[in-house]
Structure formats: structure tokens, C-alpha cells
Structure 1
Amino acid sequence: MKFNWGHGIFTFYVIFVATLVVVVIKSRTFDNSLVYENYYARDINYQQEYDRRLNSNSLADPLRIVSSDEGYALQFPPSLEEKVEGTVLLYRPSTKSDDRRVALEVNPEGTMSLPLRGMNPGRYEAIVEWQSGGVKYYDELDLNIR
């Protein structure tokens, strides 16, 4: 049997359809979720977040992550006279299942140890939403867990 142009067209369409089927199957297994669960609500309230960032930037001593005996700790500005309240989100951009949110528990020295036990190594962002003396603050700090 001789291979002619009709066989070529048939072969092309079979390969084309097979490729489309593979692409559709692969696309159904891809996780296309948003970065944040409540992305749109967060976008609407961005002005409040921006004001909190301005408050954080106006501090003489910013919030920092320092090394401690247990791993890492948040070091709050020593100039704060009021109690610090808020939350810390240890956000991992690559895997939503590794995210962890904890309430702030600041000791009298103005530090809080970050609870890293059981966390997978990698890059995280420590998103700290906190307030002291009625003023609200917002900080994003990079954290690499080994």
C-alpha cells in the first residue's frame, strides 16, 4: 500500500486530536486556585492595608525577624508602650497547605518566638497584622526555614 496525501491528512488529524486530549487531561489536574482565598474582598479593603503599612513605615524601629535559640523570633519596636495584639500568617507562596496562622503572644522583652516545629523547609512570608495603643500596623517579612 502506498502512502499518499490522504493518509498524511488522516495521520495529522489523529495526532492533533490525541494532543488535544492530553492537554485537556493535564489542564484538569492543574491547581489554578487564587493566591489568597478571599482575594476580591482583600482587594476592596486594600486602602486599610496601605494605611497600616504607612503606620509601620513611620516607626523609628521597625518590626524585625531575629535568630533565637528556638529558631526565629519577631522583635517588636522597644518604643511601644502598649500591649501588642494581632496575628502572624506564615504564608508559603508555593504551597497553600503549608500556611499557618497564629495569634501574637509577645513576651515582656518585646519578642515572640515563631512556631516553626513541623513546618516544611522553604521560603515563607511572615505577614504580621498587629496593633498597639489603638494604632494598627501591617508588615511582610521574608523568612527562610531550613
Structure 2
Amino acid sequence: MKINWGTAIVIAFICFIGFIMYFVVNMSTNDKYDHDLVVEDYYKQELEFQKDIDKEKNAKALTTNISWKKSEEGIVITFPEELKINKIKGKVFLYRPSNKQLDFETPISLSDHNLLIPDNRLLDGRWNIKVDWTYNNKPYLYKAEINY
């Protein structure tokens, strides 16, 4: 039996569509390929975005902003020296883009102008840090990407 060009093209299209459908079904049903949003409450966070912009403007208006550095004990977050530490309130959120199970949040509790994030909580790789804090009831926000 001889196959002409038209029949060969139709067979090729059917094989290609079958191949693509196999991968679509496999990717959507297999638990190995998890397709979660980046964060669980994505839409809620999107509505809060303007507030975050205002907080970041407040932080940039400071004479010195928050800084961080890597140390042997972990990550040291340094708050501005001119601020009184007993009036600083807030939380630090560390977000791991590659694995949401590693994300964690810690409250800000300062004895001096430094906050230590212990090394045992951090794996090597990329982390996004978000420091949401207030000073004299004025909100501030600091964001950074850390390669630990």
C-alpha cells in the first residue's frame, strides 16, 4: 500500500497532536509537577500593593535605610542608628522562591540596632527578604534579594 503526501501529513499532524496531548495530560495530573501560585494569597497581596509602595517611599526618605550583611551566625539586619530601638516594631519575612515550605516569618525584637536571622534556618540559594516595620506609628518596608 502506497501512502500519498496528503495522508502522510494528516498522520504526522495526528501523531504530533497526540504527543502534545500526552504531555498536557501528564503535566496537569502528575503531582510531581506542582503548579501553585507564587504565594497562596496572591490576589489579597495585589490589593495591598499601593500600601507597600507608600511604605517603601517612607523607607527611602530615611537618612539611612536598613542594611544587611552575611555573617558566620547568619544574616544580620541593621536598622538605622538614629532610631530608638524600643519604638521599632514589625516583622521580617524570608521567602524562598524555589520552595514555599522553607518560607518563614520572625518578629522584630532588638537589643541593639541589629537583628540576627540564624544560619540554621537558611539554606544556600536565593532568598527574598521583606522587612515590614513601623517607627512612631509610621510604616516602612524594605525588600531585598539575598543569595545566601
Q: TM-score, normalised by structure 1?
A: 0.83
1:7-40 CA deviation, whole Å, 9 max, x = no partner? 6356325413421332222431443322222121
Do residues 115 (structure 1) and 112 (structure 2) align?
no
Structure 2 match to 1:130: 133
Deviations 1:29-82 (A, max 9, x none): 443322222121122222221111111101111100023341221000011124
- Once residues 73 and 52 of structure 1 are traced to their aligned partners in structure 2, the CA distance between those partners, rounded to angstroms, is 22
- What is the deviation of 1:137? 0.8
Question: Given the superposition, is the C-alpha separation of residues 130 and 13 from structure 1 closer, same or farther in structure 2, using an over 3 Å criterion?
Answer: same
Rounded Cα–Cα distance in structure 1 between residues aligned with 2:123 and 2:75: 15
Q: Does 1:56 align with 2:41?
A: no
Counterpart position of 2:91 = 87
List gaps (5 residues or longer) in structure 2.
none
State whether residues 127 and 138 of structure 1, in contact with CA within 8 Å, keep that contact through their aligned partners in structure 2: yes
Q: Which runs of 5+ in 1 are unaligned?
A: none
Match of 1:34 among 32, 37, 49: 37
Q: TM-score, length-normalised on structure 2?
A: 0.82
Total equivalences in the alignment: 144
Q: Quote the RMSD (CA, aligned, Å).
A: 2.2
CA contact (8 A) 2:72 2:119 kept: no
Aligned match of 1:18: 18
- Cα distance change of structure 1 residues 8 and 67 upon mapping to structure 2, 3 Å threshold: closer
The aligned amino acid for 1:104 is I
Identity %, equivalent residues: 28
